[in-house]
Each structure stands twice: as structure tokens, then as C-alpha cells.
Amino acid sequence: MQVDRRGNGERMSSDEQQEGSAALRSDGVSGEAKDDQGAETERLSKRQRKRLLRHQQWEEQREQRKQKRKERKQKRREEYQNQGDGMVESTARKRQHLEPKPSSLRLVVDCSFDSLMVLKDVRKLHKQIQRCYSENRRAQHPVQFYLTSHGGHLKENMNQKDKGWVNWKDIHIKSEHFHQILNKEELVYLTSDSPNVLKELDESKAYVIGGLVDHNHHKGITFQQAQELGIDHAQLPLGDFVKMNSRKVLAVNHVFEIILAYLEKQDWQEAFFTVLPQRKGATPVGQEELSSGQPKGEQEDDSDEDPESVGAATHEDSNILDQQRKNQEEPEPPAYQLEACSAEWTAA
């Protein structure tokens, strides 16, 4: 019989016995846990113990960091309130200025020249169209973008290289020709062969850009098409503001970006020099003398291709020339002639 040593010798109840045994078990377990933890700490290296200590300190300071964040947030809120309504109005004006304002002007890329291009040029046209789309999405005054006569090799290449084109937004992709979906009176074909110079943009018009990468193999074809369709045509006022060392033929995306830049800046010269690449050697009209000191090779650059493709073509051409030079050299003498010559030399 168990007797309570503190009391009068009465028998302990079953509840008291269970509490006492539970306390003994908990003390044993906690002691074992402490021993295990201490042993584990002793097994850690010095670097690991430091890392563990930093982690413990980080956890202990969690509430302090939370309180500091609340204090900083409250301080910023009070500063904004003290600045008054002036700051709020300026922020509102800034947001209003940055919001894009779509233009009613329509820009059309005519892709009806698919049969005149090799696959390499079709891929270049695809990249130029991608650039037009991305620039229009980021523009301050985005235009109504049309892609007409879409099909053939261009569509096949887009399906293979850029399947996401079917999800493009703010663009009208049509398989029909542009004169079938737009009014004839509103069309203006932009071509460098036109005698008409475009002085300003009419946002009620639809300006057509020839989607052709031909390296000047089909001169005047866009001007000829405009005449056959009986629609207006014009060229950008490039010669009035820019002196170029290369041809005035620009890539599709260059013409597209110049139009976007003019809509934003309302200045042709600023729009030209914002977009034109340096390899075109463009200088403002009247300042040609300042650029006369450039190397001759830079002034005579007459290529609208990408620098990588131009470099590759130049390297290939040099290999062909080297091979031609080797073929023109005299053939090596046969082996028996060499042996005879060596024998004569030895006899001599």
C-alpha cells in the first residue's frame, strides 16, 4: 500500500498516482531530449554552430522586425498626408501623360509579294513584322495595324517559328488583299519611287507599306502596284531632312517605327534620327561636311541587311575568291617529275 509521505498516511487516489507517473515520464523525456540536443550541438562544427546561433537570433528578432516595418509604413503614410494634394495632382498628371492614346491612323503591311522572296528573306520579313507589332504595343500613340495578303510561305514560317501570333492583340490579320477590305480613296502607298513627298500624316488615311525583302532585285514594284490599283502614293520626306550614304530604301519595321515616332514627336527630322540605324550613315541636311571625315568604308555602306547576315555573306564570298585563286594557279608537277629533278640535282 502506497502512503503519502506528506500527509497523515492516507491512501493516494488513482488520479494522484497517474499525475505522479506522468510527471516522472515527462521529466525523463525532457531530460533525454536535452541530452540529445546537447550531444547534437557538440557534434556540430564551429561554422555550423555559428550558423545555428544566427538562425536562432533571427527567429527571436522576428517580432521586432515586424514592428519596425509597421513603423516605417506608418511614417511613409504620414509623410504622404503632410505633402498635401499637390503631390497627388502631379502623380495623377504623370499617369495621365503615360497612358497611351490610340491613333485612328491605319498602317498596312502588304504581304502580297510572298512568291518573289526566297525562304531566307521570308524569315527576315517575319522578324520585321514581329518588331512592328512589339513597337506598336509600346507606342505612345499606337496605330490601327493591318497585315493583309497573309498566307503562303510567310504564314507557314510564322506557324513554325512563332505559333503565338494567333493570340496577337490590336492587329487585323487578313488573308485578303488590302484593296478588298479598305476604301480605295483612303489608301496611300508608301514607296521611295513615288514623285510625291509626304509632308504630314492624315489620320483618316490608311498608309500601305510593301512587305518585301528583295535586296533591290525588284525595283519599283510597289510603285507599279500602286499605279495599277489607281491609289495614291507618296514617299517619306527623307531627302528633306536626312543625307544618307546608302540607298533610301528602308526596311518594313523602319518605316513603321518612323510613322510611330512622328505621331509622338510631330517632327520628321527627330523621328528619322530616332529610328534610322547608324550603318545607314544618316546626317542632317546641311551638315554633310561634318561627317566627311568618316572612313570611306562607312560612307559607302549600302546594305539594309542585318550586320550578322552581311558578315556571313562577306566571309562566304572571301572563301569563294580564295578557291578561285587556287584554281587559277599552276598545277603541281607530277611525282615522277619531282623525282627526276632530284636525281639530276644529285648527279650535278
Q: Is 214 a residue of the active site?
A: yes
- Identify the CA nearest to 147 among candidates 126, 124, 121: 126
Grid cell digits, residue 283? 546626317
CB atoms within 10 A of CB 194: 20
HEC profile of 131-152: HHHHHHHHCCCCCEEEEECCCH
Per-residue cell: 329: 594557279
Whole-number Cα distances in Å, 334 to 320, 330, 342, 348 = 26, 12, 13, 22
Q: Cα-flanking dihedrals φ and ψ of residue 145, to 5°?
A: -90, 125
> Which listed residue (162, 193, 214, 301) is catalytic?
214
What SS3 class is residue 16?
Answer: helix
Listed residue (200, 209, 190, 197) closest to 266, CA to CA: 200
What amino acid is encoded at 178 in this protein? F
Question: Contact at 8 Å (CB) between 281 and 246?
Answer: yes
Sign of CA dihedral 210, 213, 218, 219: positive
Give catalytic residues, as residue numbers. 214
